[in-house]
A and B are shown apart, each in its own frame.
Chain A
Amino acid sequence: MSHDTDVGTNGEGSPTTDSRDGAPTGLRARLVGLWTLLHREILRYVRRPRNTFLPPMITNVLYFTVFGVVLGERISGNDPNAFGGAGYILFILPGLVVLGMISNAFENASFSIFHGRWNEYIHEVLTSPLSHTEMVLAYVAASSLRGIVVGAIIWGVGLVFTPVTVANPFYLAAFMLVIPTLFAAFGVIGGLWARDFDYLTVMNQFIIRPLVFFGAVFYPLSALSGIWRQVTLLNPMVYMVNGVRYGVIPEAVAVPPNRSLLVLTGLTVAVVALDVELVRRGYGLVD
């Protein structure tokens, strides 16, 4: 980086210390590097709200209008306790928040990495002194943030249609943090694995969305019986949707949130660790 200072060497010519200002071994420089990639990743979607924030807003207005306003009363029938005493719009709101967060967090990480690979500009990052962990943390954090922002937008749209009272703010915040982070971490794997843009579409449309739609977003678990209830309980999305729902209508939740939160947190740590290992090995990145 500079010519006026030199690499310290021992008698055999191998490096011992690095005394240069701004060298990557300094904590400040490491944080600057991490922040730069994180900032770059955030700017990429913040500057394109029509592509990133407007579509989920419009989609959810349609969901609330069709499922909530038009069909909601018919689904609820005359049972005041049908959805834990909440209206149908409030019941589906957490599920739609989860769907929006997951889709956007996953899509952001997978697209950003794959697009960078496709056009090879990810080489700017790969040839930089950023550590493998810093690279992964920046991509995951930026993508998770996009998921959280989209989740907040969907809450905002929901508030137009129904009043919302937060019953368990800790659980609400915790699930809204861990769910998009987990799927941002999955998105990194998707971005490394994809060989063309079709792969991204397949992952989002044919794996994530069906799981969410069958994850008790639009119906309570109590509406299912026998084998279907057992099968549904194998779907990890059920625990995510229930976790966020527990934050606003705990009466409508059949699955306790603590174990779900613990498992999701552990899974997130494991998937981020896998991301770091894949990047370290250069999977999909290095010849």
Chain B
Amino acid sequence: MTAPAIRARNLRKNYGDVQALDGLDLTVERGEFFGLLGPNGAGKTTFINTLVGLVHKDGGDAEVFGFDVEADYREARDRIGLAPQEFNVDRFFPIIEVLEHKAGYHGIGSKEARRRAEDALKTVGIWDKRDTRFDWLSGGMKRRFVLARALVSNPDLLILDEPTAGVDVQLRHDLWDIINRMNDAGTTILLTTHYIEEAERLCDRVAIMDSGSKVEVAAPDDLMARGTDTIDLGLADPPRTAPRLDVDGVTDVTVTDDGLSVTAAGGSQTAPELVRVLERQGHHVTSLDIRRASLEEVFVDLTRDDREYAEVSA
């Protein structure tokens, strides 16, 4: 049996009265493209920092490829490439030397470190800035460089904390391409993002975190299937009041200018029965449009429900 890329069990971390991680259980399989979603303060960065050694956990276990992040910290860290949200780059040296140093810390000799540093800069498209110091790079270049630094040790696990925060659309797509190529080559990716579209587009599975623990984990499609879809029905003679629709999954019916808007779980399964019931009631359905719940809506529902539950419990 092969150890997963990440395994966290009952992981806990407090900052005074704030419970940043509250018994987090999470497993990321090898080779997965895994997204970590959650509102600000959900504990995503604390979890990442626990894996790389910037946060001491208060309880529970965390392993990277079977190596405990504290007892076997050297082996665990050697397998991780981290692109953090905040720019924490050595300002004293040109960026190519910063990459050589990073490779050297991983035990890579100077010639090979130089080659990898050059490759990493070419991969992210800032080779011509190799002799520039980090402070003199533009915002987008800084974001590219942080990714290059994460790549230079050729990690088995690439952790990206908000890698596309504040970058333009073109750069975002460039970064997506690079990350996807890494994942295709076998690298496990752990991505945190506030751009739900990013997770929807890139990730095999996503975990939604809130208040330091996992709320849900599933493939984006599965999560969206659990969301509430909207079915817009055009009617030849729209009613003045919403009719009673006794159909499984329907949660709300409202009258619109040209018909009805029905919210229902599993819209594509509900729609045929909905049409049949309306026809039986004497309505003539002229058009039908199903709008699937977005991951963003599911995310908002899940994190809101969790907070409401917490407030009620309190």
Contact = CB atoms under 8 A, between A and B. Distances in A.
B105 A9 contact: no
B52 interface: yes
Interface string B137-152: 0000000000001000
Contact of A7 (B3, B104, B187): B3
Interface residues of A, number: 45
A9 B66 contact: yes
Interface size class of B (residues with CB under 8 A): 35 or more
Contact of B75 (A24, A124, A128): A24
Contacts, number: 140
Contact of A15 (B3, B82, B102): B3
A103 B89 CA distance: 27
A262 interface: no
A129 B107 CA distance: 8
What is the predominant secondary structure among interface residues of chain B facing chain A? loop
B9 to A, nearest CB: 13
B125 interface: no
A274 interface: no
Interface in B89-103: 89-93, 98, 100-102
A15 B65 CA distance: 8
Interface in A139-179: none
Interface string A25-38: 11011101101110
A30 B104 CA distance: 10
Given A22-B107, A128-B77, A3 B56 contact: no
Interface stretch (A91-99, A115-123, A203-211, A216-224): A115-123
21 contacts: A1-B154, A1-B156, A9-B66, A11-B1, A18-B75, A22-B106, A22-B107, A22-B109, A23-B75, A24-B106, A37-B105, A40-B101, A121-B88, A121-B90, A123-B84, A124-B102, A125-B105, A126-B53, A126-B54, A129-B73, A287-B56
Interface of A: 1-3, 6-7, 9, 11-15, 18, 22-26, 28-30, 32-33, 35-37, 39-40, 43-44, 116, 119-121, 123-131, 282, 286-287
